[in-house]
């Protein structure tokens, strides 16, 4: 990929219910419920909060057959209330639960690290023959699952997590980005042999640097084998508050800036719907998906000629409903016009109590009194 000429990686399109992913479709935003999957009403309520916040897919865990069966009721409850958003089942350890869930929801996530049990009874190294025997067992169970997905038009996410690789992969590659990539590539080759292409991939870790390395390595390996599946990005266990948001922005944002990524999930230790605005802010900051007005404002300094914070607040309140505009608020004329060159409109301090307004790079109103300036800017934008 060319580091100096941004373009989005060309991925294949995967049909997930009524919301396709990949290709030229917008990078999708999703979240995951944290209510018990056996509590149908609580899950429906939580799904609705995620959807109302802007979530385009909702994932629910299904740790066993009972939970996987209950996805049917949750889905029906949501559809009865008019919500068509695709649901995703999240499965670990239990391929039988994945097979049940695939009949009821639009996509199933499996973890190749725990899809089948290890054949080893001790901690000795895998021989080549043992490695292959276990791979064939995984293949058999995975193909059975894919056949059910084919019957029900269910998409699949191969979700590899650092820290939960299979013993076989750990033994050969260690808990490394290479081990994560190999775990994934082995299943992709099976998908190709079985003619199954409704596949999304994720490689996640709580260590942002490791996660970024693993995904970049995977993209290179997929390109070499002519695989173009869409990618789901996320930093696991990112935490909460500012730390969780920054960690997510660094991990997800770095890859988006590379042009990699077709759906994102910000994982916060907070209510799931709180993840959605953060996800959209990361997409906006990487200019991957524009959904709101962008504000460009200087930090202010000794040259600032008006109350910058109060002015920004006022302008934001009046314009935050507009989509796709860039509005600059700059403290002074010295650096203001040059540094806001990217903006559609500019509000720049011109002298004590005086403001100049810009449309693009052109000054359209000069030295107007500060108390009239916000109104004048809004009138200019409206015009």
Contact residues toward ligand SF4 (CB under 6 A) are: 298-301, 303-304, 330-332, 334-336
**Whole-angstrom Cα distance, residue 163 to residue 160?**
9
C-beta of 111 vs 300, nearer to ligand SF4: 300
Q: CA of 88: how far to CAs of 64, 72, 212, in Å?
A: 15, 12, 24
Smallest gap, in angstroms, from Cβ of residue 281 to ligand SF4? 23
Q: CA of 229: how far to CAs of 43, 53, 311, 355, in Å?
A: 30, 27, 46, 51
C-beta of 22 vs 331, nearer to ligand SF4: 331
How many other CB atoms sit within 10 Å of the CB of residue 297? 19
C-beta of 251 vs 349, nearer to ligand SF4: 349
Return the C-alpha torsion angle 181, 183, 184, 188, nearest 10: 130
C-beta of 241 vs 338, nearer to ligand SF4: 338
Structure tokens at 371: 């108390």
C-beta of 73 vs 335, nearer to ligand SF4: 335
Smallest gap, in angstroms, from Cβ of residue 297 to ligand SF4? 8
Contact predicate 186/226, CB 8 Å: no
Smallest gap, in angstroms, from Cβ of residue 193 to ligand SF4? 59
Smallest gap, in angstroms, from Cβ of residue 277 to ligand SF4? 27
Smallest gap, in angstroms, from Cβ of residue 377 to ligand SF4? 17
Structure tokens at 220: 């290179």
C-beta of 167 vs 339, nearer to ligand SF4: 339
The residue sitting closest to ligand SF4, measured at its beta carbon, is 331
Structure tokens at 187: 């299943």
**CA dihedral over 60, 63, 64, 67, signed as positive or negative:** negative
C-beta of 283 vs 330, nearer to ligand SF4: 330
From 240, 255, 150, select the one nearest 209 (Cα to Cα): 255
Radius of gyration of the chain (CA): 25
**Whole-angstrom Cα distance, residue 119 to residue 131?**
9
C-beta of 22 vs 349, nearer to ligand SF4: 349
Q: DSSP letters of 102-149?
A: TTTSSEEEE-GGGSS--S-SSSPPPPHHHHHHHHHHHHHHHHHHHHHH
Smallest gap, in angstroms, from Cβ of residue 353 to ligand SF4? 15
């Amino acid at each position: 990929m060319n580091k100096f000429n941004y373009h989005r990686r060309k991925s294949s399109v995967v049909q997930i219910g009524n919301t396709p992913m990949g290709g030229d479709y917008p990078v999708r935003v999703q979240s995951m419920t944290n209510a018990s999957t056996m509590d149908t009403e609580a899950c429906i309520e939580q799904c609705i909060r995620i959807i109302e916040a802007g979530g385009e897919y909702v994932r629910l865990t299904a740790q066993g057959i009972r939970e996987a069966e209950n996805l049917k009721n949750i889905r029906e409850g949501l559809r009865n209330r008019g919500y068509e958003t695709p649901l995703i089942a999240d499965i670990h350890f239990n391929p039988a639960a994945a097979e049940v869930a695939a009949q009821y929801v639009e996509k199933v996530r499996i973890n190749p690290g725990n899809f089948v049990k290890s054949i080893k009874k001790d901690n000795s190294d895998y021989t080549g023959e043992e490695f292959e025997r276990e791979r064939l067992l995984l293949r058999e169970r995975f193909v059975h699952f894919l056949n059910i997905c084919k019957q029900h038009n269910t998409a699949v996410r191969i979700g590899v997590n650092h820290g939960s690789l299979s013993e076989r992969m750990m033994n050969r590659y260690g808990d490394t980005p290479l081990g994560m990539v190999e775990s994934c590539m082995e299943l992709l080759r099976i998908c190709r042999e079985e003619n199954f292409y409704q596949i999304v991939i994720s490689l996640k870790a709580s260590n942002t640097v490791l996660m970024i390395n693993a995904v970049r390595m995977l993209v290179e390996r997929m390109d070499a084998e002519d695989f173009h599946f869409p990618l789901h990005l996320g930093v696991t266990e990112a935490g909460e508050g500012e730390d969780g948001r920054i960690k997510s922005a660094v991990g997800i944002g770095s890859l988006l800036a590379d042009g990699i990524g077709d759906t994102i999930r910000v994982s916060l230790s907070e209510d799931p719907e709180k993840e959605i605005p953060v996800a959209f802010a990361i997409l906006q900051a990487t200019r991957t998906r524009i959904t709101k007005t962008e504000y460009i404002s200087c930090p202010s300094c000794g040259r600032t000629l008006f109350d910058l914070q109060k002015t920004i607040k006022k302008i934001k309140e009046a314009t935050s409903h507009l989509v796709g505009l860039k509005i600059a608020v700059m403290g002074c004329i010295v650096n203001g016009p040059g540094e806001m060159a990217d903006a559609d409109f500019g509000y720049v301090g011109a002298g004590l109590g005086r403001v100049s307004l810009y449309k693009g790079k052109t000054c359209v109103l000069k030295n107007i009194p500060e108390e009239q300036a916000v109104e004048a800017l809004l009138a200019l934008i409206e015009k």
